[in-house]
Structure 1
Amino acid sequence: MGPALLLLFIVGDILGTGIYALTGQVAKHVGGIAWLPFLVAFGVALMTAFSYLELVTKYPKAAGAALYTHRAFGIHFLTFLVAFAVMCSGITSASTASRAFAAYFSTSFELGLQGSGITLIGLLFMALIAIVNFRGVGESVKLNVVLTLVELTGLLIVILIGAWAISLGQGDVSRTLTFEPAGDRGMFWSVIAATTLAFFAMLGFEDSVNMAEEIKNPIRIFPKVLLTALLVTAVFYVLVSISSVALVPPAELAEGDTPLLKVVSAGAPGFPLGIFGLITMFAVANSALINMLMASRLVYGMSREGVLPPLLGRVHRGRRTPYVAIAFTSLLAFGLITFVWAVPALGGTTALLLLGVFTIVNVAVLVLRKDTVAHQHFRTPTALAVLGAVSCAFLSGPWTGRDPVQYEIAAVLLGIGVVLWCVTAMVMRSNPRKLSGGGRSRSRQSGPVN
């Protein structure tokens, strides 16, 4: 993978559901300065990205946060929790995308679906993602490239419509400098509450470290490309949020889960909303596809390492895909889509899980300074790693105004992982051959997982 393809991969991984579904919710907290939380989220993500850059160029392997945690602390349970939290974040992110897809589907085709109707569309969409996932990585990656271009097109449409409408005197640009809190909280805490949602839109860059072994000369190429990708997405987000609040009042923008559809309608009434709705649906589909692909492979990997039941490591003989892991992660997503109706709750849970992981990664980069390697690598300033750890830990706390349901969702998901881990540990302790049984299954089903 060269620089251009890597840049496209990272940008496509970051762009998607967050900006398409949560722009209105961010504006709900702060009013017209909706662009500010996206900038703050970019700053926090950037500090953590610097830590990832040191670690991925120091250890150019595909295991990501779990590898860094294990090298730094050597605590198997902590390593498992980090890996499982990353997996859960993929499922909550994909579930967010599914509900956003359903909302845009209903609005674009004027179906007027509510409640159970939206849930049904979300479930059908997730089932389709599971089928594509089962088909294999080759089909998924090819589809990802197409969907990334669709994502960029959708956001460019919003930006261009905003610029065109503003140039004709439509909208109110002065709103972009207006602070309108939802409650009685001051500007600082309102921006922090909005940032906990906006941070969801900046996630995805951490997945790119898993591509380290697929990159040509990663030590030289990866830092430049990752930082460029973060900057590109931040510029897109700021421009989209400015266009949004200039054309649609923040209070109206916050109603429902289809904010950008309202922006297009306000700025270009003649623009075919059905086409933009399709673009949006493809964009959020990309987020769901990438995250479910990642989640199922992580479950498969943990099973093969003996920290989850061997059943989850089974591979389909024909497709070479981890079909049991795909079924397991899809069922968890079905549960979230069915019982958690609010898009902000799912998106916020994704951010919460990864903020915890990022806190550990920022600490790990400092702990691993004592571990020297033979080759040269990127080195992040110590102050950035410290600030990254503090800011991620701070944004994880209840003092930010985060909805308590996010902690409940995260606890349930991690609790499922802990139960599976304990069951696996007890089985392996009582019958060590169970693990070798997984190895025999692997030998019968020889060949790499797809």
Structure 2
Amino acid sequence: MEIWQRIFKKEQLTNYLNSDKQLVRTLSAKDLIALGIGAVIGTGIFILPGTVAATKAGPAIIISFALAALVCGLAAMAYAELSSAMPIAGSAYSYGNVLYGEVIGWILGWALILEYLLAVAAVSTGWSAYFADLVSPLFKTPTVLSGAYNPTQGTYVNIVAVLIVLVISWLLSFGLSTSKRVQNVMVLVKIAIIILFIVVGLFYIKSNNLHPFIPKRVNGAFGVKGILEGTSLVFFAFLGFDAVSASAAEVKNPKKAMPRGIIGTLLIATILYMLVGFVLTGMVHYTDLNVPDPVAFALSRVGQNWASLIVTIGALAGMFTMMVTMIYSGSRLVYSIGRDGLLPKWLGTVDKTTKQPRNALIVVTIVIATLGGMVPLDKLTELVNMGTLLAFTFVSFGILIVRKRDDIENTGYRMPGFPILPVLSGAFSIFMITQLQKATLITALIWFIIGLVVYMTYGLKHSRLNQADK
């Protein structure tokens, strides 16, 4: 078989469905929304709004969130259809293998590895900052253990970021039943605390903080272009609904539960993001919000230290649930790639006792803990958006393909507005990629080149599809 035919050979959906029978279907639509909100809200509300408002969009950050939600909403509908039609582990990676061919699936998987691992690593450093604020009256982490590797500043490892990743992975190692209960409770607590911030903050909004609503463009920031740049950055805040699709192989009645979980997550998150963005920039002038913990900072600034303490606890809970979702999803992604032989096959095994991909979880944990403990936050976030947007693009256009496949029956959710909305979703995602910084695009290109080298030298040789042809 020619090399071109080999790398574009498509996996059969039935093979994935049979392989994933080792995993136990225990998740409901409610659990999926908890997973999604646990990821989405934990990241965006407590870390990004301040820095993006201060450096890109000003008070118009709420427009950035609305535009991001619009594009994500289209992509969410596409994910909902594909997860309903193909309830398998691996999310866009597995969809790519079935719809486009193995090499495209690999590229998407390589992009998603970037997304999941860097997202958790970045949030683990945010969690560390909030934790340090919480315990500061009682204890201060030694400087050497308080930040990413930077000898000139006296920091060598962010030990708290490392430890929280290890704790979450330990929790997940017991199986979904345990982590699911913790996740659901924390999500309810987090939403209650977010509502508290909104209610308290409304009394401290100053109209002059919101003017000009769209600051004049200066020094490469703000203006209409700043809103668009902010939009591409706050995609990081919406990470979560796409990760929900990675759990499809462990969902009861996926044809109904998957669409409800994905779309429900995005609707709830969008409403809360816009409200928090408005209140935050109304309380404190956007130029003062470039801090690691903007929500707690804003409340402290207006003298509401009691509320700030509660929000800090909520932030810790929110980021904790985000990391639970993304570590879980990342381990399922690595399991899926190992299952297909594109990474070492021992990563694609399932523990007979816990019914979990234990080896994949261990590897994901080691990588995330290393990144979160050693690499500065500002080196991580934009690359996450590149992985997300690339997956959005292929998933969106995948609707055009799946509708023509007679071997893939979908009696569940179908994206409306076919074929216009899927094409529009893909086009929006491509446009958002063009709004990323050149340094991000260059770094991403290097990452994909490395990925293709790995695929051509290892993956193609060990591929389950390739082995079947011998």
TM-score, structure 1 as length reference: 0.83
Tell me the SS of whatever aligns to 1:380: coil
Deviations 1:385-428 (A, max 9, x none): 1121111112123xx25262575368448736853773354467
Distance 1:212 1:418, change over 3 A: same
Alignment match, 1:11? 37
Match of 1:289 in 2: 324
Match of 1:302 in 2: 337
Partner AA of 2:432 in structure 1: L
1:96–1:347: 8 Å Cα contact kept in structure 2? yes
Return closer, same or farther for 1:60/1:133 CA change in 2, 3 Å cut-off. Answer: closer
Q: Distance in 2 between matches of 1:222 and 1:322?
A: 21
Q: Give the conservation status (yes or no) of the 8 Å contact 2:47–2:292.
A: yes
The structure 2 residue matched to 1:22, chosen from 29, 35, 48, is 48
In 2, distance between residues paired with 1:176 and 1:103? 31
Rounded to whole Å, the distance in 2 between the matches of 1:165 and 1:187 is 26
For the residue of structure 1 that corresponds to 2:342, the secondary structure is coil
- From 154, 158, 168, the equivalent of 1:129 is 168
In the other structure, the counterpart of 2:10 is none
Instruction: From 273, 289, 302, give the equivalent of 1:253.
Output: 289
Distance 1:290 1:53, change over 3 A: closer
Q: Greater CA deviation, 257-266 or 410-419? A: 410-419
Q: Map residues 140-159 of structure 1 onto 2, 5 A cutoff.
A: 140-159=179-198
1:233 offset after TM fit, Å? 1.0
Whether 1:117 and 2:117 are equivalent positions in the alignment is no
Q: Secondary structure at the match of 2:94?
A: helix
- Residue-by-residue CA offset, 1:55-80 (whole Å, 9 max, x unaligned): 2333344443233322322x212212
CA distance in 1, matches of 2:461, 2:260: 46
1:49-128, aligned counterparts within 5 Å? 49-73=76-100, 75-110=101-136, 111=140, 116-118=145-147, 119-128=158-167
- Is the 2:198–2:275 Cα contact (8 Å) retained in structure 1? yes
CA gap 1:38/1:432 in 2 versus in 1, 3 angstroms: closer
Asked whether the 8 Å contact 2:97–2:103 carries over to 1, the reply is: no
* Residues 123, 319 of structure 2: 8 Å contact kept: yes
The 8 Å contact of residues 353 and 410 in structure 1, kept in 2 or not, is answered as: no
Deviation at 1:182, TM superposition (A): 5.6
Greater shift after overlay, 388-397 or 417-426?
Answer: 417-426
Deviation at 1:367, TM superposition (A): 2.5
Specify the alignment match of 1:350 in structure 2. Answer: 384
In the TM superposition, residue 22 of structure 1 has moved relative to its aligned partner by 0.7
For the structure 1 residues 213 and 140, does the alpha-carbon distance in structure 2 shift closer, same or farther, using more than 3 Å as the test? same
Does the alignment pair 1:367 with 2:381?
Answer: no
Report matched runs for 1:316-335 at 5 Å. Answer: 319=354, 321-335=356-370
Structure 1 stretches lacking a partner, 5+ long: 434-450
Whether the 8 Å CA contact 1:165–1:268 is kept in 2: the answer is no
Per the alignment, do residues 417 and 374 of structure 1 end up closer, same or farther by CA in structure 2, a change over 3 Å counting?
A: closer
CA RMSD, Structure 1 to Structure 2 (Å):
3.1
Matched, 1:383 2:420: yes
Per mean C-alpha deviation after superposition, the further-off stretch among 363-372 and 87-96 is: 363-372
Q: Shift in Å at residue 218 of structure 1?
A: 4.6
Distance 2:339 2:436 in 1: 39
TM value normalised by structure 2: 0.80
Amino acid paired to 1:234: T
SS in 2 for 1:232: helix
Q: Assess, with a 3 A threshold, how the Cα gap between structure 1 residues 234 and 302 changes in structure 2: closer, same or farther.
A: same
Aligned AA for 1:53? A
**Match of 2:99, as an amino acid?**
A
- Other structure's SS at 1:165 match: coil
CA-CA distance at 1:85 after TM superposition = 2.2
Q: 1:296 to 1:244 in 2, by over 3 A?
A: same
Q: Point out the more displaced range, 143-152 or 20-29.
A: 143-152
Tell me which moved more, 329-338 or 415-424.
415-424
Give the C-alpha shift of residue 258 in structure 1. 0.6
Equivalent position to 1:392, from 416, 420, 429 = 429
String of CA shifts for 1:247-280, please: whole Å, max 9, x gaps: 11111111x2111111222345242534432221
Aligned residue pairs: how many? 424
CA contact (8 A) 1:175 1:245 kept: no
Corresponding residue for residue 196 of structure 1: 232
Structure 2: 5+ residue runs without aligned partners?
1-26, 148-157
8 Å contact kept, 1:53–1:380 = no
Distance 1:321 1:55, change over 3 A: closer
